[in-house]
Amino acid sequence: DIQMTQSPSSLSASIGDRVTITCRASQSINNHLNWYQQKSRKAPKLLVSAASNLEDGVPSRFSGGGSGTHFTLTINSLQPEDFATYYCQQSSVSPRTFGPGTKLEIK
Amino acid sequence: EVKLVESGGGLVQPGGSLRVSCEVSGFPFRSYWMSWVRQAPGQGLEWVANINKDGSETYYVDSAKGRFTISRDNAQNSLFLQMSSLRVEDTAVYYCARDRAKMYCNGTSCSSLYYSLDVWGEGTTVTVSS
C-alpha cells in the first residue's frame, strides 16, 4: 500500500499569512493527489484534484502543486474560514490512502 | 441538489454485525464509482472501500478485507457497507462519498482519468462496545 505523510502535523498562523502544507507519497503517484478541508469534524470538502486543479467555488488563494512523490498545498492571505484540518489523498491505486492531516490553527 | 444521506449506524457489541446505507439523489448514481471513508474519534480520515459503477469491482483497506462488504443497488440509488466481526477499533463516523472520475484537457490533449471524492454525506456513527 502507498503510505502518505504530511508536514507539519499542526500549524499556527495569522490572518493574512501565507502557509504551505507538504504531502509525500511512499512511491510515485504521478499527480493522482487530492486535497480536502475538514472543519470541526464535518464532512470533508474537496479543494484540489489531480494535484493542482482547484474545484469550482474554491477561492483562488488556494493552490496545489507537485508531482511524483512530493506535493504542496499553499494558502495565500489566510482568511478566518481557512482554519481547519487539511488532508491529502492519493488516488493512484487502491487502497486510496489519506495523509494523517495538518491542523491549521489561529495564532 | 446532489445529496448523500447515510443511515444505519448505532451501537454494536464486539464481534457483531451492522449494515450502513447511503441513499443518493441529484445525480445519475449508476454512472459513478462510490466509496466509504471512516473517521475514528479524534483521528484522521481512513479510506475503507470503493465499488465500481455496476458493482462488479470492489476494493478494500487491509483492515476491512474479509470482514466488510461494499455493495450497491443502482435501481434504488443506494450504497451499502455490510460490516461483520466488528472490533472496538471500527468505532468511527462512516461517510459515503461519490468517487468522481475526471479527465483534464489542455487544447487538443486530454489526460487519463483522475479520481477524487467530490461529494460527501454527513456520516453515520458506528460504535463498537460491550
Task: Tell me the per-residue pLDDT of A64-104, one tens digit each, with 9 for 90 and over.
Answer: 999 999 999 999 999 999 999 999 999 999 999 999 999 99
Comparing CB atoms, the residue among B44, B50, B95 nearest residue A43 is: B95
Q: Is the CB of B116 less than 8 angstroms away from the CB of A91? A: yes
In contact, B119 and B28? CB cutoff 8 Å: no
Q: d(Cα B55, Cα B32) in Å, to the nearest integer?
A: 10
Q: Is the CB of A49 less than 8 angstroms away from the CB of B39? A: no
Amino acid at A47: L
Beta strands A45-49; A19-25: pairing state: unpaired
- Searching chain A, which residue's CA lies closest to the CA of residue B96? A43
Question: A100: which chain B residues are within 8 Å (Cβ-Cβ)?
Answer: 44
Task: Note the pLDDT of residue B110.
Answer: 82
Q: Can you give the pLDDT of all 130 residues of chain B as single tens digits? A: 999 999 999 999 999 999 999 999 999 999 999 999 999 999 999 999 999 999 999 999 999 999 999 999 999 999 999 999 999 999 999 999 999 999 888 778 887 899 999 999 999 999 999 9
Comparing CB atoms, the residue among B45, B102, B121 nearest residue A87 is: B45
